[in-house]
Amino acid sequence: MDKKVTVVGAGNVGATAAQRLAEKGLCDVVLVDIVEGVPQGKSLDLTQAAAIEKHDCNLTGTNGYEDTAGSDIVIITAGIPRKPGMSRDDLISTNAGIMKKVTEQVVKYSPDTTLIVVSNPLDAMCHVAYEVSGFPKNRVMGMAGVLDSARFRAFIAMELNVSIENTHAFVLGGHGDTMVPLPRFSTVAGIPITELMPKDRIDAIVDRTRNGGAEIVGLLKTGSAFYAPASSAVEMAKAILLDKKMILACAVYLEGEYGFKDLFIGVPAKLGKDGVEEVIEINLTDEEKAALKNSADAVEDLKRVLAKLK
């Protein structure tokens, strides 16, 4: 393979991302984790599966970063989940420290790479990676909108009993309960869902989308979603590796777009070989603008917590 992607964090999200990357035949994969044996074991397991899945991607597991040198993309999933009794500030403090250390090592060995951040709280972690890396804004982005839009699409398909391949959806804003699903821009075979179902059903789907992650946590009891988050990060990586010029909702750094500055927030962006190649601005109604402003304010709150840690 002439492309190489590193996945930092060999937990459920990271290991599944490594699997998706390899089985799609996109690149060689390096899986990094601080726990000895885990990335090595999972990479070996995936290598043995390659004989059946029929791909020739090389998978490497490691506890250090030397093997990551020259990565085209680094997907960062490392971090801890929020635990009972843990405040938001505690979570940000812990994961910001992890993100800083990871980013420093990544930059040391792959100074020309592109970063896709998956760790939570996502929008805040994008800011940490951006500041620590010193990378231009087009090479740092967060996976949120792709996942949230996928959830929205799934619920639309379930409601209307149609192929999910016919669905398209946009979810903007921060990754959390302030996210902004946009029914006007969500379609089935080009038909806006506002013409296919009543407002009360749309409102119910929007609410379920906002709580999509919490719903899965509630069902699993001891874990959180990982299949869809991993697929979402890999979709972004694919767009970059193959120079697809795909329009995806991603957390990207804004410098005036949508009226926001110095802020990572989910908006439509064109992804290609140069990372974030263009931010797509769409016309929003006053109600949609207010909802996006509310979401941006929540991200600003996270930034203020980060500032206190410096």
Q: Which residues are catalytic?
A: 175
Distance, in Å, from the CA atom of 137 to the CA atom of 238, rounded to the nearest integer, reads 19
Q: Between the CA of residue 131 and those of 91, 99, 105, 139, what are the distances in Å?
A: 19, 11, 14, 12
Q: Are 114 and 146 in contact (CB under 8 A)?
A: no
277 token code pair = 């190649």
Alpha-carbon gap, residue 278 to 138, rounded angstroms: 9
The tally of CA atoms less than 13 A away on the side-chain side of residue 173 is 23
Nearest to 215 by CA among 148, 265, 164: 148
Query: 119: how many CB neighbours lie within 10 A of its CB?
Result: 26
**Hey, CA dihedral for 64, 69, 71, 73, is it positive or negative?**
positive
Helix (H) or strand (E) holding 52: helix 38-53
Tell how far CA 24 is from the center of its chain: 18
